[in-house]
Each structure stands twice: as C-alpha cells, then as structure tokens.
A = this chain, B = another copy of it.
Amino acid sequence: MIRVAIAGYGNLGRGVEHAVAQNPDMTLVGVFTRRDPATLKPASGAPAFSLADVAAHKNDIDVMIVCGGSATDLPKQTPALAADFCVVDSFDTHANIPAHFAAVDEAAKAGGTLGAISVGWDPGLFSLARAYGGAILPDGADYTFWGRGVSQGHSDAIRRIDGVVDARQYTVPVESAVEAVRAGKNPTLTARQKHTRECYVVAAEGADLARIEREIKEMPNYFADYDTTVNFISQEELKRDHAGIPHGGSVIRSGKTAGGANTHVVEFSLKLDSNPEFTSSVLVAVARAVVRLHNEGKTGCVTVLDIPPAYLSAKSGEELRKTLL
C-alpha cells in the first residue's frame, strides 16, 4: 500500500482525498493543515494534523501531495516539504516553473527524496500532448484552447471591482478557430480570435452597472484583448446556475510530412465536470509514479515529461502490454 498524505485541505485537497479512495493500492495517512487541526473533519475520516508537526510523520508517509496555491504557498511549501518527503504539487505559474523546479530539485537531492511539480492538466497532460505532438511532427504548430470553463483568476479580478458582490467568468474557445485548426489550416490567431470571455456578475444594490461593465471590458491583460460579454444576475441565480467548477480544452498539433505533401492533426481534449477533482486525480496517479521512481533510487525534481507512462498505472507492465497495446 502506498501511504499518501495531503498538505492543505481546500478544493484540491478534498479532491485528492476522493481520488485516493478510488485507488485500492493507496491509503490516506492524514491531512496536514495550517489551521487548527481540531477544526478539520476530513470526509474520509482520515486524521487531521498540524502542518507544523509534519516532520514527526516522516516515517509514516510515502508521498505528500501539496495542495496549496501557486502564488504564495507552493513556492515555499514544496521545497520545504521535499527536505523530508517525496512530494507532488500542481504549481501552475508557467513563467516561474524553471525557478520552482530548481528549488525543489535542490531540496529533494539534499533530502534524498523525489518531487514532481506542475502536475495537473495544464501544466501536465497538456504539456504531454505538446511534447508528444512536437516530437512526432517537428514540421508543425500547436494550439491550445481552454474552456468552456471557469477561470478562477478572471472571476477574482472581477470581484475586486468596486460594486461587485460576486462573479463567475467562463473562458470560451471560438468554435470557428478550433475548426480551422482541426482542419489543419494552421491559422495565425490573436488572443481575441481564440477565446471569448463570458462574465456573470452580481452587483451591489444601486451600483453603477455601466461603469462595472466598462471596468471589466477595459481591464488590461484580463479582458481588454478579448470579446467580453457581461451579464448581471442575482446572487440566487449565480448560486443556482454557476455553482460548479467545470473546465477543459484542447491541445491540437497539426504538422506535415513528406515535404509538405500530407497533413496530420493530433488532438488531445478534456471536458471536465470539476476542474479540482480532475487535477487531483492526475496528482494521485503521479504520486504512485513518484513512489516507484524513488524506490528505484531516483531523487531530485521531475515533471510528467520525465516519467514513463506505465509508472502512473496500478497495473503491471505485463498487464498493460496485454490489455492496452
């Protein structure tokens, strides 16, 4: 049995708890939290511990899944935990991945542990799709479309506007752009041509709706470069119609062979009812691989690009060859 622990008990931590229960070769040792552990009641009945005491559990845990946020938690927590534990995280601030990799690599090598960072679907499975696609079709281009799905970052940005009570933002791929890419047309696409942004906003009573809409649509980086629609709704409607956290998207590689004579299109796509639960499922499969690689003596930092796919599966190599090849 692989002994798994969770650091951080938000949406992602709860997803990991569910995912561990789906894998009969794994057991959940406990949940570690910065809050008072007495206030935590994990749904699975697993015990809650203070994160401050984590080192005392060093010999009871094969792999720690770090479920904090990428902005401030993971850059500190993952290297710190890697001193004592094999770790897996979902660090997704793309530009800072090389620095985070270096920090975890150093800590894990010093501690004789193994860490896997940036695990999830993007970065993660989408990175895999790009790596395979690019290696197989070097003369080509790839495109990533996200959605239809909830962007937490864009929803938060709307909530910071004066007069906004709550908000939900959906990123939506432009269907005609997706179709052009699928047809192997290799189009050049601006941000605006690839995605639209749909906002559902609950405004404070008496707020100036025209101003809020304008502030959203003109917000640089987040909305100004996109065709954005703003829908004002009630708090009840938001709760009733927009409670879920769906997401998804596609990585499409199109490339040519035989001097351009033939075109091939490779597509990897996801349609997820719950973004954090799916991300958690990827984290748990990679946690299995991390334990196996560490048992073979590997230390330092890896990403999904470094892990043989068979290591993610509970099945033996023999069984995989017989049933999947």
Partner of A268, one of B261, B268, B278, B309: B268
| Contact of B272 with A320 in the complex, beta carbons under 8 Å | no
Q: Which of B23, B264, B305, B324 contacts A310 (CB 8 A)?
A: B305
Q: Map CB proximity to B onto A248-266 as digits: 1 under 8 Å, 0 otherwise.
A: 0000000001110111111
Question: With the chains together, A303 CA to B309 CA distance in Å?
Answer: 10
Count of chain A residues near B, Cβ 8 A:
69
Residues of B within 8 A of A285 (CB): 135-136
A228 to chain B, nearest CB (A): 28
Chain A contact residues: over half helix, strand or loop, or mixed?
helix
Closest to A268 in B: B268
**What is the minimal beta-carbon distance from A55 to any residue of chain B, in angstroms?**
29
Q: Tell me how far the C-beta of A39 lies from the nearest C-beta in chain B, rounded to whole angstroms.
A: 22
Collect the chain B residues with CB atoms within 8 Å of residue A325's CB: 94, 97, 118, 123, 127, 303, 305
> Interface code A266-278, partner B: CB below 8 Å = 1, 0 otherwise?
1111111110011
Looking at the complex, which one of B268, B312, B324 makes contact with A267 (CB distance below 8 Å)?
Answer: B268
A285 to B309, CA, bound (A): 16
Which residues of chain A (289-324) have a CB below 8 Å from chain B? 303-310, 312-315, 317-318, 320-322, 324
In the complex, identify which listed stretch (A14-22, A74-82, A160-168) lies at the interface while the others stay far away. Answer: A14-22
- A282-B314 contact, Cβ under 8 Å, with A101-B321, A268-B268: no
**Does B312 contact A306, Cβ atoms closer than 8 Å?**
no
Kindly list 11 other residue pairs between chains A and B, CB separation below 8 angstroms, not including A125-B136, A304-B309: A19-B257, A130-B324, A131-B313, A131-B324, A132-B312, A134-B315, A257-B273, A257-B280, A258-B274, A303-B321, A306-B310
13 contacts between A and B (CB under 8 A): A125-B136, A127-B320, A128-B309, A131-B313, A132-B309, A132-B312, A257-B278, A264-B271, A265-B270, A305-B320, A305-B324, A307-B308, A307-B309
